Amino acid sequence: MTATATNPTGTTATTGDVDDTASVTARVVAALGTVRDPELDESITTLKFVASCTVDERGTAQVRLRLPTYFCAPNFAYLMVADAHDAVSGVDGVSRASVVLDDHFASDAINAGVAARAGFVASFEGEAVDELDTLRADFVRRAVLAGTDRVCRPMLAAGTPASAFAGMTLGDAPHTPDRERLRQRRAELGLPSGDDSPLVVDAVTGERVVDTDLPMHLNRSRLTRVSAEANSGVCRGLLRDRYPETATISSPDSTHTEAAS
């Protein structure tokens, strides 16, 4: 007997045991949802980068990823495929994972490198000097800046003067998904992330931002968020043109989407 399960990302499971493989598939999809585009700081499922996801009765998970253009930056592409491979491999019930990037100029190098767990330098022999940890950390820092704006902007709109932020803690901000997302990104960098930690911190040192530095810091935070959201908007538009069927698949998270006019 064969059954097919579908979910909002358009993934399917084909299996002889409906309950088991369907639940494994659901866990695989959830795991993929934790993988982010490091540049855009959004989930690859929200971004519709997951083209397909199947799990067979032996626990073999096969995931295909796709990106907005043939020339998307190979370093970020590599991170997404490698992270997806790690996330899916760790799912209970998955015995073997295959994650493949389609339609990209560096698909072969990335797919072979990730499958062999070779690392970025070995996958792009002669073209890279270091692994991608520094690049990733730089973009998590940008995510902290953008996240600071997402938390602080509504507080400013509600009447909190910017000068008051200097004395506030993360716990003083309203409990919102944006605040928790900011907390998580700060924790990833080893920055203070508890409720008693400062609301606005330097994304490199973790020091509280105060006084004359605060207006500049808030302006840069807003700018960083605008940049990321504009990029995300362009990427979504290009993906929709490249894979028109994505226009009909609803996204589980519409926080950062905006309808075309």
Partner 1 sequence: MYEKNGEKYFIVDSHMHFWDASPENWVAGHENYAKGWIDCFHAYQSLGPPETHWSIEHFQKPSEEDLMKDVFEDGHVDVAIFQPTYLLEWYRNGFNTTEQTGALAEKHPGRFVVNARWDPREGDAGLKQLEEDVKRWGSKGVKLYTAEWKDTSRGWTLKDPEAYRFLERSQELGIKNVHVHKGPTIWPLDKDAFDVSDVDHAATDFPDLNFIVEHVGLPRIEDFCFMATQEPNVYAGLSVAIGGLMHARPKFFAKVMGELLFWVGEDKMTFGSDYNIWEPKWQIEGFVDWDYPSDEFSDYPRLTTDTKKKILGLNAARLYDIEVPAECQLSSASSEPASQDDAALVTQEEARV
> Nearest Cα to 247, choosing from 4, 5, 43, 10?
10
Taking residues 166 to 185 in sequence order and writing x for each that binds partner 1 by CB under 8 A, - otherwise, the string is --------------------
194 versus 215: smaller Cβ distance to partner 1:
215
> Nearest Cα to 255, choosing from 189, 183, 178, 154?
178
Three-state DSSP at 146 gives helix
Near partner 1 by CB under 8 A: residue from 129, 159, 205, 211: 129
Q: Is 237 in the site for partner 1 (CB under 8 A)?
A: yes
Sheet of strand 96-101, all strands in order from the earlier edge strand to the far edge = 50-55, 60-65, 96-101
182 versus 218: smaller Cβ distance to partner 1:
218
Residues contacting 141, CB < 8 A, separation 6+: 189, 203, 204
Matching residue, tokens 């370093």: 75
Taking residues 50 to 69 in sequence order and writing x for each that binds partner 1 by CB under 8 A, - otherwise, the string is ------------------xx
- Looking only at residues 76 through 105 of this chain, which bind partner 1 when binding is defined by CB under 8 A? 105
Taking residues 194 to 213 in sequence order and writing x for each that binds partner 1 by CB under 8 A, - otherwise, the string is ------------------x-
Q: Mind giving me the DSSP string for 172-214?
A: GS---HHHHHHHHHHHHTT---STTSBSSB-TTT-PBP-TTHH
Near partner 1 by CB under 8 A: residue from 11, 25, 43, 224: 224
Residues that bind partner 1 (CB under 8 A): 39, 68-75, 105, 120-121, 124, 126-132, 134-135, 138, 142, 145, 212, 215-216, 219-220, 222-224, 226-227, 229-231, 233-234, 237-238, 240-242, 258, 260-261
